[in-house]
């Protein structure tokens, strides 16, 4: 399978979807400026992801030291042993009793996932897939391409919300009040007694208020790491949760008023990757400039639409001449499809096996399943009650 091109023409989601669906084995190399990432696939599953130009902070040894799982001296001794014995670093550290095998596997998995999900912020670059045999690493649990896609889309959707509260890696926090005690696991009978004679439901809302407003394990981990002057960057390193999950946990703590952010003093130091979330423009001039760019882009799209190809009758618009317009229309259409899927779930008690069942149920028309594309959308139902809905391969 020859697969080569630019990310502007074929996005990372489309590439992962294609390789996963066809269960290919090989290496996908993505390059952007001075950055290059190699993703290895085995039968469509991701078995390794590594940055070829990885800086020191991204090396597994540096991650272990930053997380205070090993000391600098222990790492240096293990690296010297590795050179003499040609063993893997993880095997050396485990055999020396410095770290448990389970903890080392967790850090390797974290390193891989951080590399993978960083790709979803890439808007430009090139890609090339080469079919060949790849070595599997027993340390890393293979990742299904579909699972990576769903998690990647979730992070892309939620990053803007997180960035409203966590604006810099250099900001710090201070605690405002103690977290509520962890609830003990109870059986259904005990839970019913609590509902009947326990505290009012209104008082429990502070513990769980929905998305971005709940206290879970990640929030408790981040809360324990809040120390005066400790930056977001340092909390991320110590939490062993990854950049996104740590930032989201801190955002939740701020939303629930368990912590308060402290703006960084001065400038300089590392910050969030600008591709993960757009940076904020300060001042009136910046806002005016952004508005002008958006208006100009909209005018450009309007001039590229083939209005003669638009059906103004009862059916949907079936053709566009500009791929950019198709992508915009596709985003809206997927929202409509998702809404129909949820209605079907409520009425039937289960997800549809295929999108055609939405038409049979009278929720959508046949044209809706492929608008604005000629081919139908890709849909797959998961065993855990989730589903994957993506544009067709183009």
pTM: 0.62
How far is it, in rounded angstroms, from Cα 316 to Cα 333? 10
CB 359 within 8 A of CB 365: yes
CB 339 within 8 A of CB 389: no
Mean per-residue pLDDT of the chain? 79
Compute, in degrees rounded to 10, the torsion defined by CA atoms 338, 209, 232, 72.
Answer: -90
How far is it, in rounded angstroms, from Cα 94 to Cα 78? 10
Cα Rg of the chain (Å, integer): 24
Q: How far is CA 7 from CA 45, 106, 373, 391, in A?
A: 21, 30, 19, 16
CB 238 within 8 A of CB 222: no
Give pLDDT tens digits for 133-190.
Answer: 988 877 788 899 888 988 988 898 899 999 999 999 999 999 999 999 886 544 554 5
148 C-beta neighbours (distance < 10 Å), count: 24
Nearest C-alpha neighbor of 12 from the set 20, 23, 22: 20
**Which DSSP state fits 372?**
T
Band of residue 272 on the pLDDT scale cut at 50, 70, 90: low
- What is the pLDDT at residue 393? 64
More confident residue, 294 or 42: 42
**Which DSSP state fits 271?**
-
CB 104 within 8 A of CB 96: no
- What is the pLDDT at residue 66? 92
307 C-beta neighbours (distance < 10 Å), count: 9
Per the DSSP assignment, residues forming a β-bridge with 38 are 29, 50
**Which DSSP state fits 2?**
-
More confident residue, 53 or 392: 392
pLDDT of residue 74 exceeding 50, the answer is yes
Give pLDDT tens digits for 198-251.
Answer: 544 444 444 444 456 678 999 999 999 999 999 999 999 999 999 999 999 999
Cβ neighbours for 127, distance < 8 A, ≥ 6 positions apart? 3, 4, 5, 6, 7, 10, 12, 15, 28, 29, 30, 31
CB 170 within 8 A of CB 271: yes
CB 137 within 8 A of CB 42: no
């Amino acid at each position: 399978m020859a697969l080569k091109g630019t990310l502007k023409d074929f996005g990372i989601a489309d590439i992962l979807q294609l390789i996963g669906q066809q269960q290919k084995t090989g290496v996908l190399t993505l390059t952007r400026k001075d950055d290059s990432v190699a993703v290895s696939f085995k039968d469509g599953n991701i078995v390794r992801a590594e940055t070829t130009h990885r800086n020191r902070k991204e090396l597994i040894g540096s991650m272990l030291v930053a997380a205070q799982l090993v000391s600098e001296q222990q790492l240096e001794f293990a690296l010297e042993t590795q050179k003499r014995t040609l063993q893997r670093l993880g095997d050396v550290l485990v055999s020396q009793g410095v770290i448990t095998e389970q903890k080392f596997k967790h850090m390797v998995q974290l390193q891989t996932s951080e590399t993978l999900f960083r790709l979803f912020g890439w808007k430009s670059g090139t890609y090339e897939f080469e079919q060949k045999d790849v070595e599997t690493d027993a340390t890393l649990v293979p990742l299904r391409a579909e699972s990576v896609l769903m998690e990647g889309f979730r992070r892309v959707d939620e990053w803007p919300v997180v960035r409203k509260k966590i604006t810099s890696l250099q900001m710090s926090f201070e605690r405002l009040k103690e977290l509520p005690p962890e609830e003990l696991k109870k059986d259904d009978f005990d839970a019913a007694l609590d509902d009947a004679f326990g505290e009012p439901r209104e008082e429990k809302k502070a513990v769980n208020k929905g998305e971005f407003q709940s206290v879970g394990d990640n929030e408790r981990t981040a809360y324990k790491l809040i120390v005066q002057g400790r930056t977001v960057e340092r909390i991320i390193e110590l939490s062993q949760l990854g950049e996104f999950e740590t930032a989201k946990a801190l955002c939740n703590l701020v939303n629930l008023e368990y912590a308060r952010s402290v703006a960084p003093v001065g400038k300089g130091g590392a910050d969030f990757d600008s591709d993960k979330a757009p940076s904020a423009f300060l001042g009136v001039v910046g806002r005016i400039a952004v508005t002008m760019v958006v208006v100009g882009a909209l005018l450009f799209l309007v001039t590229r639409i083939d209005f003669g190809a638009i059906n103004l009758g009862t059916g949907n618009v079936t053709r566009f001449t500009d791929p950019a317009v198709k992508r915009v229309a596709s985003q809206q259409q997927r929202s409509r499809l998702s809404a129909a899927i949820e209605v079907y779930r409520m009425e039937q008690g289960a997800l549809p096996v295929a999108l055609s069942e939405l038409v049979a149920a009278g929720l959508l028309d046949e044209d809706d399943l492929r608008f604005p594309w000629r081919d139908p959308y890709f849909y797959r139902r998961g065993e855990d009650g989730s589903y994957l809905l993506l544009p067709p391969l183009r």
